[in-house]
Chain A
Amino acid sequence: MNAVVHRSDRSWFRTAAGRRFGVEIGLIVLAKAALLTLLYFALVASQPRADTSPAAIRAHVLAGAAGNATAEPATP
């Protein structure tokens, strides 16, 4: 009886089904990271950045407003 392999000692995550699950999850995380990067470069980085220089903040709160503050081109 002592020679019987104690099946419970083996994690399910090391079985074929478990490994497939791990690969699927890993691929999803990688795909998400890639999509988020794409999203950043396509939608975020290409847009002009809000001007938050001290002068712009003063203008925004004290006299001007969002629509009046100038936008600066995005820095690479």
Chain B
Amino acid sequence: MIDGDVVTLSRLQFALTALYHFLFVPLTLGLAWLLAIMEAVYVMTGREVWKRMTQFWGVLFGINFAMGVATGVTMEFQFGTNWAYYAHYVGDVFGTPLALEGLMAFFLEATFIGLFFFGWDRLGRVQHLVVTTLLAVGANLSALWILIANAWMQNPVGAEFNFETMRMEVTSFTQVMFNPVAQSKFVHTVSAGYVLGSMFVLSISAWYLLRGRNVDFAKRSMTVAASFGLASALSVVVLGDESGYTVSENQKMKLAAIEAMWDTEPPPASFALFGFPDVATRTTRFAVHVPWVMGIIGTRSLDGVLPGINQLVEEAAQRIERGRIAYAAMQRLRKQPGDAQARAAFDANKQDLGYALLLKREMTDPAQASADDVQRAAASTIPNVPVLFWSFRIMVGCGMYFIALFGWSFWLASRRRLDASRRYLKIALWSLPLPWLAIELGWIVAEYGRQPWAIEGVLPTALGVSSVSAGQVLFSISGFVVFYTALAVIDAMLMTKYVRRGPDGLGLWPMSVPVSPSADERDYGVGT
């Protein structure tokens, strides 16, 4: 049997490091494009203020990049230390996207960030703009590869289990690359990063306006953030819908758990707007349903059926039985590779082999499982319904709020009235943490919702864990917590220091020496 404490602690450690790492990543993704937009305006208009804006927000980008870089490396440590069996089982598929992600992040992105900071005096305007754009492209490509790897965990296509090597092996890298889950996940995730980057610029600029500092600098920054933020917030919702559609095709249990849909409803299924899921009774108390909505979103039809949790558990039990046949056949094949009967049984049931492995959490040999064991293993395919239900709703609520806030900001910017309402500025300022909250909740929905699987339908999480002790994992978690807390404190102090100093305190703007020719003089102080 598997040590449950080691599994829980290893999951906790990975979740902590992943959630921490993703505090930095989306800001890099979003801010990089905002820098490119600001610099593009500078190149097109020649107005100095846009260059200074690029440099000021570039300073904050640099702090975020320096603090965030390599915090993800510890996750890769953990594939070896805590998830050695997982790494063996899926390494043939998982290794390539991870290596490509490393190449993109450490070579392309890191090279261009150096040129971004140190190339202002050495490169022409257009050349430097190309550098900034490639910095943004590099950051986004890096995200693409890690999301291809992650999407394969949600929808394992282009690979097959080899009973001789006891691992998944690639059959089509094209399918892995063009996994529909990867496509929808990538655009949804990077758009969320763009929203975060926009909110970062909007909120800090609102703080300057509230204090009457850097007024023209802040208004221009807010105009860019409002436009880019509105487009991104709309994209996040549309692309999130696409992401949800792929979940309804590949991870029906996750979708049912997000909706706390205990039983299959007649199509089109309703959307639970509110309620308190009760896991013990498998009901949702005080549920408020909106008819048809979930069926239309989930199946894009009026007659598509979305199965409920109870029906999916019954289906899981059947798949466990088929998986046991595949498991027994695999054992026979390993002893006698020429056994045609075993080969036929294995091939007919191998797609459910992973379900038999669910039994290994409680017993060493799935062949010994009783009917009760099978039912318990089938019930274990239900993720944590209340957490998913509420995480999803808070995330979606934040998404709708972002559309409203950026829409309001865009409307004010188009009328040059961004500093007219202190209430608006305060709302913009205090909205700063919300994109981080929404993004972290999004990852909780995606990853916690995949449980009990490390690889959906293929490898149970519990089976991927290393042969280490709970004490060892607890020891390393303590180390990570201390290290990451120290980093977070330094990051907060540095960000606060540079934001408080602002463009004026840093000598970025207004410029102390009048500029000739006078385009900047004409420009400065004229508004947005």
Give A residues with C-beta under 8 Å from B: 1, 4-15, 17, 21-22, 24-25, 28-29, 32-33, 35-36, 39-40, 42-44, 47-52, 54, 56-58, 60-71
Contact = CB atoms under 8 A, between A and B. Distances in A.
Contacts of B118: 13
A8, A21, A36, A42: most-surrounded residue (chain B CB, <10 A): A8
Q: Is the interface of B mostly helix, strand, loop or mixed?
A: helix
Contact of A65 (B360, B512, B513): B360
B365 interface: yes
B365 A63 contact: yes
A38 B85 CA distance: 26
Given A43-B479, A63-B364, A28 B66 contact: yes
Contact of A50 (B84, B494, B512): B84
Nearest to B476: A43
A51 B465 CA distance: 11
Given A21-B498, A32-B69, 4 more contacts: A13-B120, A21-B62, A28-B66, A66-B6
Interface stretch (B32-40, B47-55, B386-394, B402-410): B47-55
B63 interface: yes
A8 B511 contact: yes
Nearest to A33: B70
Interface string B1-14: 11100100000000
Nearest to A36: B70
Q: Which 9 A/B pairs are nearest by Cβ-Cβ distance?
A: A50-B84, A11-B120, A50-B466, A69-B467, A43-B479, A7-B513, A43-B476, A8-B48, A4-B516
B331 interface: yes
Contacts of A54: 166
Contacts of A57: 85, 88, 166-167
Contacts of B85: 50, 52, 57, 60-61, 66
Contacts of A28: 66-67, 490, 494
Interface size class of B (residues with CB under 8 A): 35 or more
Nearest to B56: A12
A76 B521 CA distance: 64
Given A65-B360, A67-B3, A15 B507 contact: yes
Given A5-B513, A47-B476, A22 B70 contact: no
Contacts of A14: 120-121
A38 B121 CA distance: 37
Interface in B146-202: 166-167
23 contacts: A5-B513, A8-B511, A12-B55, A12-B120, A13-B117, A25-B62, A28-B494, A32-B70, A35-B483, A43-B475, A48-B468, A57-B88, A57-B166, A60-B85, A61-B166, A61-B463, A63-B364, A63-B365, A65-B463, A66-B465, A67-B1, A67-B467, A70-B467
